[in-house]
Each structure stands twice: as C-alpha cells, then as structure tokens.
Structure 1
Amino acid sequence: MDFAYSEEQRMLTDSLRRLVTDNWTYAKRRERQRAGVMDQSAWNSLVELGVAGLMVPQDFGGFGESPATMLVVHYELGRGLVSEPAISSAVMGTTLLANSHNETLKSQWLGALAEGEAILSVAWQEEGERYALRPLCTRATATEKGFSIDGRKVLVWHAACSQALIVSAVLDGEIALFLVPSDSKGLSISDYPTFDGARASTVGFESVSLSSEHLIAKGEEALALLTQTLDFGITALCAQACGAMQALTDITIQYLKTRKQFGQPLANFQVLQHRLADMLTHAEMALSSTYVAVAGLDEKDAAKRSRLVSMAKVEVAAAGRFVGESAVQLHGGMGMTDELDVGDYFKRLSFADQLLGDTNYHLQRMQDLGH
C-alpha cells in the first residue's frame, strides 16, 4: 500500500488542519465539554469536508475511500482532539452496516450517514464482560412481528447523539446484530462524560420491539462483522492517537524554546533534547505501526488482519503513555495544571489505551490468533 499522500489527500489534509486549528481550540473544546451535548455545528463542519461520508460506498452517496485516506483524516482529527463521533459513527457504524447484506437498512441509513443527517453508535460491551465480543446479558427473542430485545449495554460511545444503535444480542444461542432506532419504546440512555472529554452512555433495553428487517446479521456472519468493525475503529483510534502525539510533541518543543532557565532556553539543555528525541522516536514508531494496521485492513485473512491491528494498538498505547508523561514532565509544574493543552492531550492518549481493548486484551488476542 502506498502511503505517500495523493493530491486529493493533501488538499483534504490542508482543509482539515485549517478547520481543526480554527474550531477545536482549547477554549472551544472546553466550552463543548461544559455543554455536555454534541455541538451540531462542529459536527456539520466535519460533514461538509466529507468526514461522515468517507467510508460510505459511492453507490450510497459516499466517497468509498480507502483505509489509507481514513488514516490521513483521523491523524488530523487527533491533532485537534476532536471528540465528535468520527470514529464511533463515521468509521465503526458505517463500516459494519456497509459490509452487511441487509440491503434495506443500507438503503435507509448509509445515505443519511454520508450527509450527516444520522449518527450510528455500536453497543457491544456489557457490564463485567470487559471487551468480550459475544453478548451474555442482552437477549433477543423472536415475536410474531419480528424481535424483542432486553438487556443492558455500557460504555456506548456517543449514544446520546445517535439516531440509531447497532446492538449485539443473543438470539437462539447465537450472536446477532440489530439496528435499533434511538427513539424506540423501552430504550433508555444514560449519558455521561468520559475521562478525555468525550461522551458515552449506559443503554437499557426493556422489551424493545423491532421488525424483522432490523436484523443485520446473526451467527458467524455477525461475529465477523463486529470483529471487522472493531478492527477499523481501533485503526482509526491509533491514527488519532498518532496525531495527538505529534501535536503534543510540537507543543512541548515550542514551550522548551520559549521557557528560559539560567538565562537560556530550556531547549538548549542536552538532557531535555534527548527526551524530546525519545518522544519523536516513540511517536514515529507508533505511526509506522499504524501504517501496518491500515495495510492489514485489506487482508482477506481475518485472523492476520486482527493480529496486525492488535500489534499496532499495543505499540501506539505504549508510545502514547511515554509521549504524554514526558510532555507533562518537561512542562514542569505547569504540566499538571488544567490551564494548558498538555493535560488534555495526556488524558486523550491515556484513554486511548483503554478504549476498544487495552494492552492486556490485545496481547492476549495476538496470542490467541497465533504469531
């Protein structure tokens, strides 16, 4: 796979960087966090640049772009700590639905996703089950009109601003995936902020009725779809983390150039130069690993794809911790305050380690899938 930017990718990168620089400043991010709801105008600005329709097939009104372009986009979003549902909906929800065989739902939802008129969230985690893909407590039963769902999902990313949820449930002893409109009777959403300033929810289902067309997939097909979806989401998350590391390194370099000690800039001290070099090395290793994961998304062997993605997630998590901790330390006491961007980037990088599978989970997955 060629990772040299094409002319279109360079233009997209330039436009995204300008947008993020203007609309995701420290002050504007904090204002959105205090509001506690998704800023629709901020999301619309991303939609206008094609972020929402990036992974939507062209037949359904999207751009049908490659994973390489996904990396380009999410790297820039990571530089600005964008918290809108670019991964949860524009990557994960879109990827799952687009690769399914439910043509009715694809016709109904993919065009709306590309236009930014709808947001999808994937609800798969359950309390006490950590990152397990197979549901235990959320169950679906067949009815005369379709299905009824009961259960509870936790840590559902951006559920409160979504128009529908893709929900995993046990159906006839097998995993099944359903598309559940957010306004369905019996569905409850309890929204809360996450550590890094985004939003997540606990979602309850009490006899939620669905027609038969809302079944996306079941059995091994459903498990394969969910696994593929998470692999795409993890890779986009890695790309955003790499963008955040680059931005945080740039901020730290600028600080050391302007802050003086003993009459000279801190950047002149060799020991601090060595730490900066280590930060740059870790960030570059993380980006290289993310390139490998992006290339792996095109693998026909699902086990190999997932193994490459897990390898990248482990590398990016370790690099993120090192870069974040180093930036805080190099800023001295100011690095611990809430008045600087440094803490925001450190939180995002720390949270990225836990999101969509922590290091222990991915190390175990690599072992299970073989070397």
Structure 2
Amino acid sequence: MDFDFSDVQQSLQDSVKRFCEREYPFEKRQALLRTEAGFDRAHWATFAELGWLGAGLAEEVGGFGGGPIENAIILEQLARALVVAPFLSSAVIATQAIARLALPEQRDKLLSPLLDGTSIAALAHGETAQHAFAPDLAAKATKTKAGYRLDGRKVFVLGGQAADVFLVSARDGAGESLFAVPAHTPGVERVNYHAVDGRRVSDLTLRGVEVEASALIGAGGDAADAIDYALDYGVIGLCAEAVGAMDAALWITRDYLKTRKQFGVTLNTFQALQHRMADMLVETELARSMLYRGIAALALENVLERRRGVSAAKAQIGEAGFFVGAQAVQLHGGIGVTEEYIVGHYLKRLALVRGLFGSSDQHLARFAECAAGRNEEEAAGLRDFRPAPGLRRRRTRRR
C-alpha cells in the first residue's frame, strides 16, 4: 500500500504549513483567543481563496475533487499550529452532511457561501453532556402551514459561536430530520463558551423556532445516514488533528531534552528519558497508521465496516494522543503547565479530542457492536449459500 502523497497533496500540505508559520505564531494565537470572535475572519477568507474550504468535496458539488485525505492534511497542519478556527465544524462536518443529503438546488444555495467563506455552518446534533455520536433525539419538529416549528436543546455545538447557519437535527413524523436554521432566527438562543483547548462552542435552545418548508434538508433514514456519515467524517478529522498535535509535541519535547541540562549534561543523555521518547514516537506513528486506516474506512460501502474502522481509529488515537501530550508536559517539568508555553496547549487539544464525538470506551463498544453485526451478516450469507448447479460437495473417505 502506497502512503506517499501525490504532488497535489504535497503542495497542499506545504501551503498550509507555510500559512501557519507565517500567519499563526503562538503569540498571535493566544491574542486571538482573547478576542470576542476567538478567530480571525481574514484568515477564514484566506482559507477560501486557497481552496481549503472545498478541498474535501467532489467537483460535482462545487469542491476541488478531494476527499478525506485532503481534509486530514489540512487539519493535521492546522493542529500543529493549534489554529483555532471552525474548519472541522464547517468545512468538514457541515459540508459533508449537506453534500450527501440536500437536493441539488438546496445544495448549491447552502454550499456556495460556505465554500467562498462568506458563511459558516455548524451541525447541532448532540443533546447530552457526554457528546455521544448517536444520541436519542429529543428535539422535535412539528409541521405547520408555513413549514415547521422546532423545539429542543443542543449542547456543545462545535463552532457554534461563529456559525451563521445551524444544521439542526430533530424528530418528526418521518423520524430523524435535518433542518438549515439561520443563527439569528427568532427563538434560537445561543450560549457561547470556551472548550478546554480554547475553541468556541455553544449550547442552543430552540423555542418555537419557525422555519420554511425549504429549510428541511432531508428526513427519515436518509437524514440519519447522512448525519452518521458526516459525524464519522468529523471523527476522522479529529484524529488528524490529534496526529498533528502529537507529532508537534513529540519534536518540541525532543528539542527541549537536547538543550535542557541537569547534573551537567543534557536530559537526552538519560536512558530512562530516551525510553519515554521512544514510547511517544511509537504511539505517534501508530496513531498515524490508524488515521490512514480510518480514512480508508470512510470509502467503504458497508456501513458496519465503515463504523468499525472509524471507531477503531478514534479509540486508539484518543488514548495515544492523551498519553503523548501528558508525557510531553511531564518531560518539560513545571514550564510544561504554563499558559505562556505551547506544549501544555497541545495536551489541552488532545484532551478534547479524546472525549469529543464519543470517548474511547464508547467507540470500543461501537467497534464490538459493528463487528458482531458483521459476523451475523456473514453467518446469514453462509446459511443462504447454495452450491451452483453441477457442483457437488467433496466427501472425504474414512479409512
């Protein structure tokens, strides 16, 4: 299997890396976190100009013909610089849900402003503090003469503060449905706050929110499948962020151990610390391998196999990322926990990744359920198997 990037993918990686080095030093990041918006809209416009906002979408829906590997390349480099922007929530999760579910006329209307950077979207799906990937929806959509009335509550909406439009999941007569709701629609109450890594999230309360019939993007099984796929896509995006943060923390720690002296020698001469660095390297490379496995799983037609591959990646990378981040902080000593030094902020990002969109325990349970379901499918296939005409079962003669 070839894991080398194509020339186009390598060029994309280089462009994101150059942007982060030039436009996003750590000091500027810290200053942006103290602003009301929490990120730079000028940077977002640059993302659009460079084609990053549509890098993971097919050309037929207005994208640049890429897929999850292109999004992973971007997210890994953004995470290395700890960029705080709603890329994952808008350019990955929301766009995938729209591209997979919306009718062509809806798709063009919703995607165009997202891809040109004039609008930002966020999926409002989770309803519990556990941020599980498959919540039991309590939000309701009631049919009215003019369209629909939405009532319910959504928590920890990633990118919610910056969102101009929310993709709200709710239950109606057809089952699970997805609606495009402008953020300033009467009845939408938004409470913004910081996640542990500094990015902005929101809790939404919808009280009698009236929307037109055209706000319905999809209903029934199609909506549930599209949301499930978009969240799987988002989980792999989180895994890419983790790999970027892990790799950056690893090499920053290596450089620190090569310069910090104790007992007259640099710390990297101590064998015990060499072993810990080796463990960090192994976990980082294993995480990268699992990321590629998860990316490949997104292309699988069998839903159980896709979920199993995604959950395997999330369970492994979530724990490995937290391990590498914690080791990096500990090997730095006291400076590792200061706000002024970058390595502690990698741990915060990795701590968020560990629990967002399902914990490692939840994904291990999902992995087991999908594996059991797949085994049942295979067993059913064997039960239904009939030899082709002319074929006879070979008998072994007993001696």
* TM-score between the two structures when normalised by the length of structure 1: 0.96
Instruction: Report the CA distance between 1:42 and its aligned residue.
Output: 2.2
Q: Which residue of 1 aligns with 2:361?
A: 360
Kept in 2, the 8 Å contact 1:139–1:150? The answer is yes
Q: Which residue of 2 aligns with 1:288?
A: 289
Instruction: Report the CA distance between 1:265 and its aligned residue.
Output: 1.3
Instruction: Report the CA distance between 1:129 and its aligned residue.
Output: 6.6
Kept in 2, the 8 Å contact 1:55–1:94? The answer is no
Q: Which residue of 2 aligns with 1:151?
A: 152
Kept in 1, the 8 Å contact 2:188–2:204? The answer is yes
User: Are 2:298 and 1:297 aligned?
Assistant: yes
Task: Output the amino acid matched with 1:232.
Answer: Y
RMSD: 1.5
Instruction: Report the CA distance between 1:262 and its aligned residue.
Output: 1.9
**Looking at CA atoms only, which structure, 1 or 2, has the larger radius of gyration?**
2
Once residues 298 and 4 of structure 1 are traced to their aligned partners in structure 2, the CA distance between those partners, rounded to angstroms, is: 18
Greater shift, 189-198 or 105-114, is seen at: 105-114
Q: Which residue of 2 aligns with 1:264?
A: 265
Once residues 218 and 235 of structure 2 are traced to their aligned partners in structure 1, the CA distance between those partners, rounded to angstroms, is: 22
Count, aligned residues = 371
Task: Output the amino acid matched with 1:11.
Answer: S
Once residues 98 and 268 of structure 2 are traced to their aligned partners in structure 1, the CA distance between those partners, rounded to angstroms, is: 50
Once residues 137 and 13 of structure 1 are traced to their aligned partners in structure 2, the CA distance between those partners, rounded to angstroms, is: 41
Once residues 182 and 56 of structure 1 are traced to their aligned partners in structure 2, the CA distance between those partners, rounded to angstroms, is: 24
* TM-score between the two structures when normalised by the length of structure 2: 0.90
Once residues 58 and 125 of structure 1 are traced to their aligned partners in structure 2, the CA distance between those partners, rounded to angstroms, is: 30
Kept in 2, the 8 Å contact 1:134–1:175? The answer is no
Instruction: Report the CA distance between 1:2 and its aligned residue.
Output: 4.1
Kept in 2, the 8 Å contact 1:54–1:114? The answer is no
Q: Which residue of 1 aligns with 2:67?
A: 66
Kept in 2, the 8 Å contact 1:135–1:168? The answer is no
Kept in 1, the 8 Å contact 2:101–2:217? The answer is yes
Spell out, residue by residue over 1:169-195, the C-alpha distance to the aligned partner (whole angstroms, 9 max, x if none). 010261111111112111111111111
Identity of matched residues, %:
38
Greater shift, 204-213 or 133-142, is seen at: 133-142
Once residues 245 and 267 of structure 1 are traced to their aligned partners in structure 2, the CA distance between those partners, rounded to angstroms, is: 19
SS in 2 for 1:205: strand
Kept in 2, the 8 Å contact 1:96–1:229? The answer is yes
Instruction: Report the CA distance between 1:136 and its aligned residue.
Output: 3.3
Kept in 2, the 8 Å contact 1:124–1:135? The answer is no
Once residues 67 and 48 of structure 1 are traced to their aligned partners in structure 2, the CA distance between those partners, rounded to angstroms, is: 20
Instruction: Report the CA distance between 1:105 and its aligned residue.
Output: 1.8
Task: Output the amino acid matched with 2:89.
Answer: S
Once residues 173 and 47 of structure 1 are traced to their aligned partners in structure 2, the CA distance between those partners, rounded to angstroms, is: 36
Q: Which residue of 2 aligns with 1:332?
A: 333
Instruction: Report the CA distance between 1:100 and its aligned residue.
Output: 1.0
CA spacing shift, 1:40–1:108, aligned 2, 3 Å: same
Q: Which residue of 1 aligns with 2:11?
A: 11
Once residues 65 and 83 of structure 2 are traced to their aligned partners in structure 1, the CA distance between those partners, rounded to angstroms, is: 22
Q: Which residue of 2 aligns with 1:23?
A: 23
Kept in 1, the 8 Å contact 2:56–2:70? The answer is no
Once residues 131 and 246 of structure 2 are traced to their aligned partners in structure 1, the CA distance between those partners, rounded to angstroms, is: 27
1:161-200 correspondence to structure 2 within 5 Å:
161-172=162-173, 174-200=175-201
Instruction: Report the CA distance between 1:128 and its aligned residue.
Output: 5.6
Kept in 2, the 8 Å contact 1:104–1:213? The answer is no
Spell out, residue by residue over 1:278-332, the C-alpha distance to the aligned partner (whole angstroms, 9 max, x if none). 1000000001000000001100011110110000001101111110111011101
Q: Which residue of 2 aligns with 1:34?
A: 34
Structure 1 unaligned blocks of 5 or more? none
Kept in 2, the 8 Å contact 1:56–1:114? The answer is no
Once residues 184 and 117 of structure 2 are traced to their aligned partners in structure 1, the CA distance between those partners, rounded to angstroms, is: 18
Instruction: Report the CA distance between 1:55 and its aligned residue.
Output: 2.4
Once residues 24 and 241 of structure 1 are traced to their aligned partners in structure 2, the CA distance between those partners, rounded to angstroms, is: 18
Once residues 188 and 267 of structure 1 are traced to their aligned partners in structure 2, the CA distance between those partners, rounded to angstroms, is: 53
Once residues 184 and 93 of structure 1 are traced to their aligned partners in structure 2, the CA distance between those partners, rounded to angstroms, is: 19
Q: Which residue of 1 aligns with 2:205?
A: 204
**Structure 1 residue ranges, 4+ long, deviating more than 6 angstroms after superposition:** none
Instruction: Report the CA distance between 1:134 and its aligned residue.
Output: 4.5
Q: Which residue of 2 aligns with 1:142?
A: 143
Once residues 297 and 281 of structure 2 are traced to their aligned partners in structure 1, the CA distance between those partners, rounded to angstroms, is: 24
